[in-house]
A and B are shown apart, each in its own frame.
Chain A
Amino acid sequence: LAKTTQPISMDSYEGQEVNITCSHNNIATNDYITWYQQFPSQGPRFIIQGYKTKVTNEVASLFIPADRKSSTLSLPRVSLSDTAVYYCLVGVSYNNNDMRFGAGTRLTVKP
Chain B
Amino acid sequence: NAGVMQNPRHLVRRRGQEARLRCSPMKGHSHVYWYRQLPEEGLKFMVYLQKENIIDESGMPKERFSAEFPKEGPSILRIQQVVRGDSAAYFCASSRDTSEAFFGQGTRLTVV
Contact = CB atoms under 8 A, between A and B. Distances in A.
Interface string A67-111: 000000000000000000101000011111111111110000000
B105 A99 contact: no
Chain A: interface size category: 20 to 34
Interface in B1-58: 4, 31, 33, 35, 42-45, 48, 55-56
Interface stretch (A12-20, A21-29, A39-47, A58-66): A39-47
B102 A46 contact: yes
Given A99-B48, A104-B42, A43 B105 contact: yes
Given A43-B93, A96-B98, A97-B48, A87 B103 contact: no
B67 to A, nearest CB: 14
Interface of B: 4, 31, 33, 35, 42-45, 48, 55-56, 59, 89, 91, 93, 95, 98-106
B52 to A, nearest CB: 16
A102 B41 CA distance: 10
Contacts of A94: 98
Given A99-B33, A101-B35, A103-B42, A45 B98 contact: no
A60 to B, nearest CB: 13
11 contacts: A42-B103, A42-B106, A43-B4, A43-B105, A44-B91, A44-B103, A46-B102, A92-B98, A93-B98, A99-B33, A101-B43
